[in-house]
Chains A and B, each alone.
Chain A
Amino acid sequence: DIQMTQSPSSLSASVGDRVTITCRASETVDIYLNWYQQKAGVAPKLLIYDASTLQSGVPSRFSGSGSGTHFTLTISGLQPEDFATYYCQQTYSSPPWTFGQGTKVEVK
């Protein structure tokens, strides 16, 4: 199975900050990389697919980049509603489509 590793596991930030989260794959996943946001006690929400395509309705302050094995999620101008845990997921080749362990964005 392809292993996904996120860094950092948590970070502290303030409203208005630019936040970057990294996701690395143990082998290439091309651009087949998704990002999800999960708030406490709630189901995840798809933010980005194909490494950089925003899902409908997702604010433009979220952006994704990368290909192959190295990907980033950037939040430009952190908003109060963005404090949550973010997960990457690869959907390259056949399942299992594995997730990263998550990055928790907390209030500084």
Chain B
Amino acid sequence: QVHLVQSGAEVKKPGSSVKVSCKASGGTFNSLTIAWVRQAPGQGFEWMGRIITIFGTTHYAQNFQDRAILTADKSTSTAYMELRRLRFEDTGVYYCATIFRAPSGSFGFDSWGQGALVTVSS
């Protein structure tokens, strides 16, 4: 199973940007589709988007379409999530996860990074 290790906690000011990394090991990076989800304090999960690493193809949730950028560096087996124009309400834990496809055609998130806490504070 793929092992994902994310970058550490960040404190950012409103209006700035943050870039979270997600390094994969134990699998073939080019075969991965990586999702990003956010968990606000004490809340559930919010889908941000996904990237198909072999093609660099991305899909964003509408709420993040204008501010999030997902990229993947095949040379280092690392995916990145950059969020721009940060707001106080962007505070939360950001997770990367690999998406697997079941024989039925459905999808699930089977490996997760440990999460990266981003705090937006003035």
What residues make up the interface of A, taking CB atoms closer than 8 Å to B? 31-32, 34, 36, 42-46, 49-50, 53, 55, 87, 89, 91-92, 94-102
Contact = CB atoms under 8 A, between A and B. Distances in A.
Contacts of A91: 106-108
B114 A43 contact: yes
Nearest to B42: A102
Residue among B95, B108, B109 with most chain A CB within 10 A: B108
Q: Is the interface of B mostly helix, strand, loop or mixed?
A: strand
Interface residues of B, number: 25
Interface string B22-58: 0000000000000101000001111101100000000
Interface of B: 35, 37, 43-47, 49-50, 59, 61-62, 95, 97, 102, 104, 106-110, 112-115
Given A87-B45, A102-B44, 6 more contacts: A32-B104, A45-B112, A50-B106, A53-B102, A94-B59, A98-B47
Contacts of A50: 102, 104, 106
A77 B104 CA distance: 29
Contacts of A92: 106
